[in-house]
């Protein structure tokens, strides 16, 4: 019984005695998050409506909508279109018998800054906000293009958002 009491007392003393430490070591932990932006672009149709003459310029307006999930810089460029020989400054709608009607797309109501890919004097649209941003696009069919055959003239321009 004495042996049992001595053993219990020894265990109790060991349990309450402070543990002797041999030393400590530390390490740094790097924490990282990479947040990529993701954007989409939607383009509304640009309609110059029905005309009887192209003696004078015809103006129209539409919008592009960019939606981004994170804040960060982006640009929107517009292609030259699908008309044969089209450039940013003179895009081409194609109609009956491969006839074309020349037009361009601009960044402001004064129609001085042609929207393209940002090279050779044309501009892109730019933003940096998250959420939805709407851009106005101003079109102009150039005057003095008579006579042209009656019919529907169309073109397809690609809008690209780069982020």
Assign residue 51 the CATH number of its domain.
2.60.40.1090
What is the spatial distance between Cα 81 and Cα 88, in angstroms, rounded to a whole number? Answer: 8
Q: How many domains does the chain have?
A: 1
Q: Does residue 27 belong to any structural domain of this protein? A: no
pLDDT for 13 equals: 45
Question: Which residue segment(s) compose the domain that 79 sits in?
Answer: 39-162
Q: Does residue 1 belong to any structural domain of this protein? A: no
Mean pLDDT of 96-110: 98
Q: Does residue 5 belong to any structural domain of this protein? A: no
Mean pLDDT of 55-65: 98
pLDDT for 21 equals: 75
Q: Does residue 86 belong to any structural domain of this protein? A: yes
Cβ partners under 8 Å of residue 80, min gap 6: 86, 87, 88, 91, 116, 157
Say which residue the tokens 């042996």 belong to. Answer: 3
pLDDT for 9 equals: 46
What is this structure's pTM?
Answer: 0.81
């Amino acid at each position: 019984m004495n042996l049992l009491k001595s053993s219990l007392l020894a265990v109790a003393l060991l349990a309450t005695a402070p543990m002797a430490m041999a030393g400590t070591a530390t390490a740094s932990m790097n924490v990282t998050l990479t947040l990529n932006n993701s954007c989409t672009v939607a383009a509304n149709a640009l309609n110059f409506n029905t005309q009887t003459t192209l003696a004078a310029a015809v103006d129209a307006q539409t919008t592009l909508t960019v939606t981004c999930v994170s804040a960060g810089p982006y640009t929107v460029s517009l292609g030259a279109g699908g008309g044969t020989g089209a450039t940013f400054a003179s895009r081409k709608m194609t109609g009956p018998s491969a006839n074309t009607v020349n037009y361009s797309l601009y960044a402001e109501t004064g129609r001085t800054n042609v929207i393209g890919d940002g090279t050779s004097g044309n501009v892109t649209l730019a933003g940096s906000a998250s959420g939805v941003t709407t851009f106005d696009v101003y079109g102009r069919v150039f005057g003095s293009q008579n006579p042209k055959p009656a019919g529907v003239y169309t073109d397809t321009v690609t809008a690209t958002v780069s982020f």
